[in-house]
Structure 1
Amino acid sequence: MYNQKPTFVAFQNDQLWGVPITGYDSIDDILNDWQSFESKVLINISDKAIINDDNAEPIDGTKFEQPVTHPRQLPAIGFNYIDHMEEMATARPKRPNVFNKFVSSLAGPANSIHLSGDTVDWESELIVVIGNGGRNISREDAEDAIAGYMVGQDISDRTLQSIDGPSTQFDLGKSFRNYSPIGPYISTIADTDDIVSKNIITKVNGETMQKATISQMLFDIQTLVSYISGVIELYPGDLIFTGTPSGTGVGRDPQIFLKSGDVFTSEIDGLGKIETKAN
């Protein structure tokens, strides 16, 4: 989203170029019409077509807006990187550990939060954006349900998360206002080469805190889509938070957490970067 319009984006010579998408008011509208959009519009789009379009204009990459604003569901995965399970002293799960983040916690790629306490932690994650959705999606058909990928942050209040014992308030501890930023744009699955080779990188005030490849996930993207849809129906625009690697503040010795004035950035190769400022 750019200037409150859904927009095709392409890169050329370190410059972003954009072309407004006609016929839709938002990316949410596009996702709700994904099958038609994919077959009638997206099939004709390429970086070259965008850059050569008469309506193409330079884009300021700092001004992207929240791509998806009204998903129905935000299923999220805990303990999906082995190193993170080790730093959290958690046994390896036999199946995906699924919890829920609340939609009211969503925010855009240039985010600001009011710290809910003294133990607010960073987590960078790959976000899977559902396009076609459905129930009981097989692992083999999972990619057909996916529209694309984004960068996300699963910001976590560790005190509330375990206020009455380990993981007793997982959902609420990760759902304060603006604790689920996403963006900066959606990279379509067709335009994303070898997603499992991408690096996830977290920096706090410029210092690298997390770095891992998506291939290190215990349960891969196809497995997550299939497993979750075996219980709940996935709808167009739903966002799956796929888990975070090691390097979180709670897993360090001594533990460290976000404090007022900190800047927390998350980046995935080829998918862009998002930023949260703590107040």
Structure 2
Amino acid sequence: MDEKDWTAICILHEEKNLTRSAERLFISQPALTYRLKNLENEFGTRLFFKVKGGIEFTSEGTHLAEYAGEMLKKLQRTKDFMLNMQNEVRGTLRLGVSSNFAQYKLPKLLKEFSTQYPNVQFNVNTGWSTDIMHLLDSSNVQLGIMRGNYDWYGRKTLLHKERLCLISKKEVELDRLPELPFINYKTDSSLKNLINGWWHDRFSDPPMVTMETDRQETCKEMVKNDLGVAILPEICLQPGDNLFTYGLSYKSGDPVLRNTWLMYNEDSLQLSTVKNFIDFLSTRTKI
């Protein structure tokens, strides 16, 4: 087996579908089938079998996919450290970043960092913070930027605090909020729990939810068209939105804040790309 074999078996194990796997590998399906057949001949066992709508792995195939995944991680770590032995800062920085931070903050930061270190490439995965935590736990990324509070056994640095805000097209009275049409959106459990905690602190009646959207930006567009009110993190709001915004506070008067954290393993500091990016972020007084 070589790197191409490891990659093929891992992607196939993820997709459970030959056509989608071939597309991700940028090869034809017959070429992928031929490679997999050679692997089965090499190990003298069946790795998978076809089922309706896809394939299922045998126990031998699952074991081989796990082995391939570990080998790819070891190879990547070896490449990282080999590049790190050179004097200049070069290599690939693998980041896992929550979607909102990736949309509103990350592009400018990466542009500035790449200007200072032109020999650094970026491999960026974005998604909900729970997804990024999984990538960090499995060592698929070197650094994770997550929003909300999560337990982490490695290094953890607070990057940013932001307030949750009620947004509306017209002026509203917060005490009348349970009477107003409320627009929800899909998000991770951390933000959902923060919003629900504030609501239960202030009101005994539930919100009058009239819409459920799949994204925060869709939710904001509905509010712009005066179809209801919503609660969004401050990072999502721009001056050009032309909305009324109300920073949320608990009954105690404390603001409702959401934290953004930088998380990584101690071992990653041995890599010049990682160390320099962490130092770069630490010099930013406002992220």
Q: Which has the higher helix share?
A: 2
| TM-score, normalization by structure 1 | 0.26
Larger radius of gyration: 2
